[in-house]
Amino acid sequence: MRGDSVGVGLGNSADRRMNGGAIILECRVKASAFKFSPVSVSLSRSCRATILIANFSRKRDTHRPELVTFRRSEIKVMLHSLGWPQLQGPGRESLLQLFVSFVLSFLAVAVAIGGETPTNDIKVDQVGYPRSGAKIALVSAPGQTFEVKRSSDDATMFRGKLSLAAPDANSGDTLRVADFSHLQQAGKYYLEVPGVGRSWPFPVGDGVFSRTFYLAMRAFYGQRCGTAVDLGPEFPGYTHAACHLQGSFHASSGKEGPRENTGGWHDAGDYGRYIVNSGITVGTLLWAWELFGPKLAHIKLNIPETGNGTPDLLNEVRWNLEWMLKMQDDDGGVWHKQTSEHFPGFVMPEEDRLPSLVIGTGSAPYKSTCASADLAAVAAIAARVYEPYDKDFAKKNLQAAREAWTWTERYPNVTFKNPPGISTGEYGDMECGDERLWAAAELWRTTGEHAYHRYFLANYAQYLPDLRAPHAESWREVAPMGLWAYALATRQGADAPACAAIRQGALSAAREIVDRTRRNPYRVSLVATDYAWGSNGLAANYGVQLLVTNALSPDPAFVEVAQDNLHYLLGRNTFSLSWVTQVGANPYRHPHHRPSGADKNPEPWPGLLSGGPNAARQDSVLQALPPQLPPAKIYSDTQDSYASNEVCINWQAMLVFLLAGVLPGTAH
């Protein structure tokens, strides 16, 4: 059994009990020929391990529990090599994980499994494929032919030959293509390769992405701060009480005392709220509305505002916008973030009693330019977008945008670093010119006023090279948003050479991405260096870039390759894992996400995109993986792996945008 095909994770803390020295872990094993789910391991300090396997039998869809006990001497050897039980303290859990992984490797070899269980060597988009267009699966084991079978009766609906094998350097896999694009009949299928096995099931149909869009967009509701949240009868038990209701100024803000600053979305796996990351997130979501609104207007998210006459996507985005507006000071500047002094433990949001602080730069003028310009940009978009639904709110946004912009003229590059005593996410950025460019473009697009236009035209050219590729940390690099905004505007008086240069830059970048994605054996746009923190967000962001370029200059190849990146995220990847919680037949299960870790539900909160493989290995779980792993494999479905398995609103927004782009229907 190959070590790289074993996925083991600590269960949610609800599954993890410390009781009289015994530790029970819920784990999962994924391997090429079989799958156990769930597996529980009980390890006692007297060095006896009991492993209970609920053996998942696909055919009968039942669970057969099986008990395996290891001999004391076997366990002792393993424990000795890991330094247990002498080891105490926070590192213990990750070592335990390693231990469990070790034990399960033994176990996997020992247990014989029938051939009916899906193999991870056949990679499909588990959410599915639209009826028209390309349908590609990938096979990472030797084979010649494949069949697509109907799940209901195992009837063969399509037969084909696998392509020649192609090595993929980023994953170390060797891949063959199974092209079943000609299969256009809607239904539920699986793919079978003689000698390899069968794939996870997947549907073919026109609306295959609708449910995932709903869950991914509704996931923002789950991130709401300052209010009770309840995902309702669809997800009973997924609730939290109102949280972070008491706000106050931190000394670094230049003010003191309490501050009513409730609302907004929890940024990621933690409970902080950050203006710069809110900027790219809200901007991306409002752009999804501006580009794909007719497809989205009727979609109900089942949130408290549903039915109020405003489309639900806008209702949800408003929740965060309202908080962003509260972060603006009377002088127009915007404080950088609102968090506790340090990250809270893995508790539910209402149990996080750390004071929620408005944090500034620590010296005059206390607000930061990047945060102020980001608010100016998104509030300028909001002024356009909300105008048909709530004129007063639109007006309020425009006023906020103008004042924030004016502040940045006075303070063009006040940057932010965590002040002493603050250790939450920094979202530091030493250069706020790109944020100002974006703000100027959006303000001009909304108002047509000369001052904003003049600033844009004087500054845009230096940012044209930024169109070539988005960055993993796209909250820091928003110049493409500014340039695209200008080119997408339909305002009279636009500068023709500027529009032509932006269009040209966007098109040549998109064509380059299409070419390299088609050459990539996984058909993902990521290059080796892209496997950094948030690489899944970057895959989604390539999709965003292609869809925006498609809006500037339509080309079916842009949409097809954008969709290829979505297929990668939804299962057509080296792990055969859907990187969206509770989506697809084989989703990841242990996000670094406090509500998922702290609640009593067996599955994580639904619709959340994982950060994905990260070759920089910035946590101890990734550091413990084998040293020679190729970049695409440096990932662990483990709660503690915040560097590869955290959720975050910015890449969540990119997933939503990408899904919105490929939903059926007509865009603007």
Q: Known catalytic residues? A: 270, 592, 637, 646
Shortest reach from residue 599's CB to Zn ion, in Å: 15
Tell whether residue 649 is a contact of Zn ion (CB under 5 A). Answer: no
Binding window for Zn ion (CB under 5 A); candidates: 208-216, 342-350, 395-403, 503-511: 342-350
Q: In this complex, which beta carbon is closest to Zn ion, that of residue 513 or of residue 648?
A: 648
Q: Would you count residue 225 as binding Zn ion (CB under 5 A)?
A: yes
Minimal distance, residue 282 CB to Zn ion, in Å: 17
What's the min distance (Å) between Cβ of 335 and Zn ion? 17
Q: Is 244 in the site for Zn ion (CB under 5 A)?
A: yes
Find out whether 588 and 61 touch, Cβ atoms under 8 Å: no
Query: If you write DSSP's letter for every residue of 294-361 in order, what string do you get?
Result: HHHTT-----TTTTSSS-HHHHHHHHHHHHHHHTB-TTS-B-SEEE-SS---S--GGG--S-EEEE--
Q: CB 509 → Zn ion: shortest distance, Å? A: 38
Interacting span for Zn ion (CB under 5 A) from 177-185, 220-228, 246-254, 645-653: 220-228
Burial of 215 (0-12, 13-18, 19+ CB in 10 A): buried
254 binds Zn ion (CB under 5 A): no
Smaller CB separation from Zn ion, 243 or 562 = 243
Q: How many residues does the chain have?
A: 668
Give yes or no for residue 584 binding Zn ion (CB under 5 A): no
For the chain, give me the number of helices (H) and strands (E)?
17, 20
- Contact between 551 and Zn ion by CB under 5 A: the answer reads no
Tokens at 59, concatenated: 């055919």
> Measured from the CB atom, is 225 or 502 closer to Zn ion?
225
Is residue 225 within 8 A of residue 263, CB to CB? The reply is yes
Tell me how far, at minimum, the Cβ of 639 lies from Zn ion, in Å.
19
Q: What radius of gyration, in Å, describes the C-alpha atoms of the chain?
A: 25
In terms of CB distance, is 263 or 534 closer to Zn ion? Answer: 263
Stretch in the footprint of Zn ion (CB under 5 A) among 81-89, 241-249, 562-570, 641-649:
241-249
The window from 172-180, 238-246, 299-307, 407-415 that contacts Zn ion (CB under 5 A) reads 238-246
Q: Does 349 bind Zn ion (CB under 5 A)?
A: yes
CA nearest to 32, candidates 137, 119, 112: 119
Neighbours of 114 (CB within 10 A): 11
Q: Closer to Zn ion at the Cβ: 227 or 459?
A: 227
Cα separation, 665 vs 659, in Å, equals 12
SS3 call for 437: helix
- 598 near Zn ion (CB under 5 A): no
Count CB-CB contacts under 10 A for residue 91: 11
| First and final C-alpha spacing in the chain | 51
Task: Output the smallest distance, CB 247 to Zn ion, in A.
Answer: 10
Q: How far is the CB of 264 from Zn ion (least distance, A)?
A: 8
Q: Is 411 exposed, middle or buried (0-12, 13-18, 19+ CB in 10 A)?
A: middle
Residue in 18, 649, 668, 658 with CA at minimum distance from that of residue 282? 649
Q: In angstroms, what is the minimal distance from the CB of 356 to Zn ion? A: 7
Q: How many Cα neighbours within 13 Å face the side chain of 247? A: 21
**Nearer Cβ to Zn ion (288/357):** 357
Query: Which window, 135-143, 189-197, 244-252, 421-429, contacts Zn ion (CB under 5 A)?
Result: 244-252
The continuous run of DSSP H or E covering 459 comes out as helix 450-459
Q: Please give the size of the binding site for Zn ion, defined by CB under 5 A.
A: 4
Angle between helix 433-447 and 391-410 (nearest 10):
140
C-alpha–C-alpha distance, residues 409 and 413, integer Å = 9
Draw the binding track, 130-159, toward Zn ion (x: CB under 5 A; -: no contact): ------------------------------
* CB closer to Zn ion, 198 vs 273: 273
Tell the smallest beta-carbon distance from residue 226 to Zn ion (Å): 6
From CA 451, how far away is CA 439, in angstroms rounded?
12
| Cα dihedral 300, 305, 311, 315 sign | negative
Task: Decide: 30 and 575 in contact? Cβ < 8 Å.
Answer: yes
Check binding of 243 to Zn ion (CB under 5 A). Answer: yes
Q: Closest residue (Cβ) to Zn ion? A: 225
Q: Nearer Cβ to Zn ion, position 356 or 636?
A: 356
Measured from the CB atom, the residue of 323 and 575 that comes closer to Zn ion is 323
The DSSP-derived string for 481-515 is HHHHHHHH---TT--HHHHHHHHHHHHHHHHHHHH
Query: Applying CB under 5 A, which part among 237-245, 396-404, 455-463, 528-536 lies near Zn ion?
Result: 237-245
Nearest approach in angstroms of CB 590 to Zn ion is 22
Judged by CB, which is closer to Zn ion: 244, or 476? 244
Q: What is the DSSP string of 265-285?
A: B--BSS--EEHHHHHHHHHHH
Sole window of 89-97, 224-232, 298-306, 390-398 interacting with Zn ion (rule: CB under 5 A): 224-232
List of residues contacting Zn ion (CB under 5 A): 225, 243-244, 349
